Amino acid sequence: MSSFARTLSLAALLSLTQAHGVILNAQGLRGSPASTAFGVNPELARNCTAINPCQQDTGIIRDAEIAANIVNECGRTELTGNIDIGENTENAIAAGAVTQVKSGTQMTVTILNADGAGPYVCDLIEAGNNGAISQNLTVENNVPGANGFSQAKTQDFDILVNMPNDFKCTGGSSGNICTVRCRNNAQAGPFGGCFPVEQVDVEPNVNTPANIETKLSLDGVFKQVANDVADLPAAVAAIQEAGSNQAEQNAAVVSSLLKQTVTSAAAPVLTPSVILGGNPTTAVTATATATASSADAAQPTETGNGGGNGNGRGGNGGFGNGFGNRFGNGFGNGFGSRFGNGGGNFGNNKRAEVFVA
């Protein structure tokens, strides 16, 4: 085990109810602030096993929902729906609530087990919010259980999660944020959560259009479009319903009960440095080369920011015609020009729907 200076003492308290787990606190290096899992609300009761209210902010992280472009890699909660990784990360940065890590450190995760169980697996999104799980993390001394079941009741467990020696956090506005995701294998779940960590032994990354390597395969693009087109009517209806007077009143009551607050911080106004008068072809080639070299390492499990590389997919009609060949020329030509301009950021704006675990 590494020395304390290189040891991340991560006290992440998970309240597990019926195999449900909530990461309430994640403490990193000594003197650094604590992180809280995305979507978790400290005002909810933790002394019961009922779904409402004690499990309402439990993270539900299902690969099938991620692949269907319903949620991001961090899943959803029954209380707030899809967990927006980017938004939650920036809220945590603004609030000064991101714990710190270093390469090769070992995290201690404290789990309060009510009537759920392990084992837990953890992985890492080094870019924070690009949809690409970069590597799995080693978990030692796991929570007892099989398939999310055991007879343990209200008992603390400490598990050890090892950060890799070779990784680089590049996410968030600060350029050095990773997202850590932990979840069990309960059939009703999986349950768990994500939280941000700040890597302090690395030079913060500065993004440029040329160094963003995430991409989505052509087949993945077609599947995303097909899913989004099919889901669009329900998504629009959900937004309309959420804006009704009754829905707004209900939301106001919930917000009041949970004392929901978000710390706001002014974003800097930056001017990227560019080489004027250069050959545009060079920049395009460099981008294509970087993307191709990382096809395996940075392949997202869903759109994330991968959809953001779609400037011009349909602007020139290329994507529109291609999509039209598969789904009808009339729809393809009309949809292509609009999707190329407006679809790039769709991956970060998941649909707001009501789910039942």
| pLDDT attached to residue 353 | 43
| pLDDT attached to residue 55 | 76
8 Å CB contact between 75 and 62: yes
| pLDDT attached to residue 305 | 40
- DSSP E strands in the chain: the ranges are 14-16, 26-27, 34-35, 59-60, 76-77, 81-82, 99-101, 106-113, 120-125, 135-140, 155-162, 177-184, 191-199
Domain residues of the chain, as ranges? 7-206, 218-265+282-348
CB atoms within 10 A of CB 190: 21
| pLDDT attached to residue 156 | 63
| pLDDT attached to residue 333 | 44
| pLDDT attached to residue 350 | 46
Cα 122 from Cα 190, distance rounded (Å):
12
Query: Helix or strand or coil: residue 195?
Result: strand
| pLDDT attached to residue 102 | 93
| pLDDT attached to residue 311 | 40
Return averaged pLDDT per consecutive 10 residues of the chain, 357 residues in all. Answer: 43 42 80 89 74 80 90 92 95 94 78 65 92 89 76 65 91 95 88 92 90 82 88 85 70 58 67 60 41 41 40 41 43 43 42 44
Give Cβ neighbours of residue 184 (< 8 Å, ≥ 6 apart).
Answer: 19, 21, 116, 117, 118, 119, 120, 121, 143, 145, 148, 190, 191, 192
| pLDDT attached to residue 205 | 92
| pLDDT attached to residue 244 | 75
| pLDDT attached to residue 277 | 59
| pLDDT attached to residue 315 | 41
| pLDDT attached to residue 223 | 87
| pLDDT attached to residue 203 | 94
